[in-house]
């Protein structure tokens, strides 16, 4: 383990303790081939990261879960050290009932993920999107059965609106179920809409918040200085850079003045929010993983936080005050 002492955080209202950075695996099998992915997971454990996130659709048809599963088979207590999160909703097969959140698909998808991951349980099983066609009673019937069978320990959500979180947990409470314990949302300095209702709902119902795309796809990682390199040179990223150039100029100047890499400041800003449990980082190399760990050493004072609010103004606070008065 690295010399840095990680302060583990409770996941929402649960007693489960997870690292303040979550290792996202979406690049495994895509831009990080299996040997590099295994090295990244080894390094994550060395750093004290115990929280890994994946999904049944990552890598195309579950390849990413398979890569993680083969890494677990390397022994040395790897599976026992990891709080494993995966997701259910999507499916590549166009045949009916091979996607979304019917009870049938939830149960079948869970069994398929367990086979690919080569484990007997999933610590955090997340609904990747809301399914407006499936009643909550049906969803909780399926999830409660998986919990009773020992295949799932906790249930979370991803990409839910605030009212979805409220409705899901109220229905769970009516059934005597534990309900959602986490929400994985798009959240970064340049995408702050969840501050209106999602974050307040999570705080009220005791859900941990797991921000995905904490660097806005690289936009907050020093995009101006690196605009000609790698994925930042793509037409899409170049268009995003131009659309946000004024903000990025001020952002990168502030980071330079602080003497801290922009990516570290972006992660530290999320970590300073008590609603946030662990931003999800998606390194493609061990060097990127090592670099992300620097965010844990960054503390942003009130003056810097205020400057960041001026550069990247959010929606104005929580609803309804943000827009009603």
Concatenated DSSP letters for 212-263? E-TTGGGTTTTTTTTTTSGGGGSHHHHHHHHHTHHHHHHHHHHHHHHTS-HH
Residue-level pLDDT at 235: 86
CB 270 within 8 A of CB 219: no
Q: Is 145 domain-assigned?
A: yes
Q: Is 120 domain-assigned?
A: yes
DSSP 273-324: STTBS-PEE--SSHHHHHHHGGGGG----HHHHHHHHHHS--SSSSTTHHHH
**Helices and strands of the chain, counted as H and E runs:** 13, 10
Place of tokens 């999160």: 85
Nearest partner of 246 among 311, 192, 309, 304, judged by Cα: 311
Which is catalytic among the residues 8, 58, 178, 205? 58
Query: Which of 62-71, 87-96, 130-139, 312-321 bottoms out in mean pLDDT, i.e. has the lowest?
Result: 87-96
Residue-level pLDDT at 232: 59
Query: Which of 92-101, 147-156, 196-205 bottoms out in mean pLDDT, i.e. has the lowest?
Result: 92-101
Nearest partner of 297 among 262, 270, 265, judged by Cα: 265
CB 209 within 8 A of CB 202: yes
Predicted confidence (pLDDT) at residue 7 exceeds the cutoff of 60: yes
Q: Rounded CA gap, 72 and 80, in Å?
A: 9
Residue-level pLDDT at 212: 98
| Residue 91 pLDDT grade (very low, low, confident, very high; cuts 50, 70, 90) | confident
Residue 127: which domain range? 16-218+261-305
Residue-level pLDDT at 96: 92
Q: Rounded CA gap, 55 and 112, in Å?
A: 11
Nearest partner of 214 among 189, 182, 241, 247, judged by Cα: 189
Nearest partner of 86 among 130, 128, 53, judged by Cα: 53
Q: Is 235 domain-assigned?
A: no
Q: Rounded CA gap, 25 and 52, in Å?
A: 7
Q: Is 39 domain-assigned?
A: yes
In the residue annotation, 58 being an active-site residue is answered as yes
Region 123-129: what's the mean pLDDT? Answer: 98
Average pLDDT, the chain: 96
Beta bridge partners, 287, equal: none
Q: Is 272 domain-assigned?
A: yes
Residue-level pLDDT at 190: 98
Region 278-301: what's the mean pLDDT? Answer: 98
Q: Which two tokens stand for residue 56?
A: 């049944």
Predicted confidence (pLDDT) at residue 300 exceeds the cutoff of 80: yes
Q: Which two tokens stand for residue 206?
A: 């005791």
Residue-level pLDDT at 92: 80
Q: Is 236 domain-assigned?
A: no
Number of structural domains the chain divides into: 1
Q: Is 146 domain-assigned?
A: yes
CATH code of the domain in which 187 resides: 3.20.20.100
Q: Is 319 domain-assigned?
A: no
Percent of the chain with pLDDT over 70: 97
Q: Rounded CA gap, 231 and 237, in Å?
A: 7
- Report pTM: 0.96
Strands 280-281 and 51-53, by their bridges, are unpaired
């Amino acid at each position: 383990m690295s010399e840095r002492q990680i302060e583990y955080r409770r996941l929402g209202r649960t007693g489960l303790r997870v690292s303040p950075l979550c290792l996202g695996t979406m690049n495994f099998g895509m831009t990080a081939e299996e040997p590099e992915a295994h090295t990244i997971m080894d390094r994550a454990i060395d750093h004290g990261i115990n929280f890994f996130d994946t999904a049944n659709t990552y890598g195309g048809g579950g390849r990413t879960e398979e890569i993680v599963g083969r890494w677990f088979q390397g022994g040395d207590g790897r599976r026992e050290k990891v709080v494993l999160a995966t997701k259910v909703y999507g499916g590549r097969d166009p045949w009916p009932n091979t996607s979304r959140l019917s009870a049938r698909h939830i149960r079948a998808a869970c069994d398929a993920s367990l086979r690919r991951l080569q484990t007997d349980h999933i610590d955090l099983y997340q609904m990747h999107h809301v399914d407006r066609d499936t009643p909550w009673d049906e969803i909780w019937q399926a999830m409660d059965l998986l919990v009773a069978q020992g295949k799932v320990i906790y249930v979370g959500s991803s990409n839910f609106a605030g009212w979805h979180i409220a409705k899901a947990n109220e229905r769970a409470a009516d059934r005597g179920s534990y309900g959602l314990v986490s929400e994985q949302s798009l959240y970064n300095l340049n995408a702050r809409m969840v501050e209106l209702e999602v974050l307040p709902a999570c705080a009220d119902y005791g859900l941990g918040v797991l921000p995905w795309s904490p660097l806005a796809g690289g936009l907050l990682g020093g995009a101006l200085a690196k605009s000609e390199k790698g994925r930042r040179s793509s037409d899409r990223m170049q268009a995003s850079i131009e659309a946000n150039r004024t903000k990025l100029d001020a952002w990168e100047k502030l980071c330079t003045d602080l003497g801290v890499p922009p990516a570290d400041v972006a992660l530290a800003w999320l970590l300073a929010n008590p609603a946030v449990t662990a931003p999800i980082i998606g390194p493609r190399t061990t060097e990127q993983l090592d670099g992300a760990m620097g965010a844990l050493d960054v503390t942003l004072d009130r003056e810097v936080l205020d400057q960041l609010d001026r550069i990247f103004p959010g929606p104005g606070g929580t609803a309804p005050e943000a827009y009603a008065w």
